[in-house]
Chains A and B, each alone.
Chain A
Amino acid sequence: MSRAWKWLRYHGVSIWAALAIAYLLVPIALIAVFSFNDPEGKFNYIWNGFTTEHWTNIFGIEELTDAFLTSLRLAALSTIIATILGTMIALALVRHNFHGRRVANFLIVIPMATPEVVIGASLLSMFLIYGISLGFFSLLLAHVMFSISFVVIVVRSRLIGFDRRLEEAARDLGATPMTTFRTVTAPLLMPGIIGAALLAFALSIDDFVISNFTSGTTVTFPLYIFGAAQRGIPVEVYSVATLLFAVTVLAMIFVTWQQRRAEKLAEIRPDDEDETGLSALASGREPISSTGSAA
């Protein structure tokens, strides 16, 4: 008994964790499984039989495809804008000392601590008063806004772990500030920026609440799902969601791999003041300069 108890006391945490992971993954598995369902009525709630029809015909529903394409366009545009603006803020916050940094920090954190419904409602209030027509443009303004803070947080964490001696070394070797940025800073920061962009993209394509307030008659993927929910969600939605999941997973794996690579690159730093490290940089035999020239 005491041995069983000991075993349970040690492994209890792991068992609990396994159950929690299962809890997190069950709904995802269910969505993937139900994308192969052949439902009897309009509602895809009960398993009725296997079919691949909703995968082969994945873009067969015009409204769904349109909504999905709108979401992709919106997410792509808002990601580009938010990533550029957010990266610039992160650079300023980490690399420079200036007055008003507390205000800047506050301004970045506060949107993340505000319920989405309040953000959506306040944007709608402003659009109503100004008479700005709701649609793709108002959605874009909103999506960039809520993505910026997340980009700043991700890129900043990357910048903080950045070894600035690498840049100094490049400068010492006669690189202009612009060349240093292009061949040293940018390649090393890239994984962080890509990670941030991926997050912004995911946030945008997933957003329902703020879009619900600011979309007007424009329909995004989540808004389509919401509209369809009352009359029965077509199985193709499950297929598209599963596809989206698979693509995101692949992108995540790619980013992780890139990040590892960048960490390896950063490891060949001049540890001491001896010339071996610097000469490694100067001779360009390590990928820092090779990625730089490729960029």
Chain B
Amino acid sequence: MVYLTRKCEFSASHYYHNPDFTEEENRRVFGKCANLNGHGHNYTLEVTVKGEIDPQTGFVVDLKDLKEILDREVLDALDHRHLNKEVPEFARQIPTTENIAIAIWQRLESKLKVARLHRVRLYELPDLFVDFYGEA
């Protein structure tokens, strides 16, 4: 088993707001992130896949294919978007780094044909990242 990681970046805006909370609760739980005018980040995404090495190509996965899936399923949907307003998963869910990592996993998992998804690591900032391994 070999693990391969592909890195890419996207920039997006969001805010944190739970309609079931009062405004005061939203402010207390989410702090500055609750500002409904939103704010943005440069996200760094690392997608790790795992699999056996194909004896004919020496690849775990063809990077062209992986890049094309990442571009289509993730970057086209998230890059330079307002996550709350433009990405269907976040019409009801709060686009925290945790939930974005899970959404990216769900977008990618069924699209990978050769290798299996191992980890989605999403940096919101250089000092803050979330790992999701597909665990329930």
**Bound pair: A and B?**
no
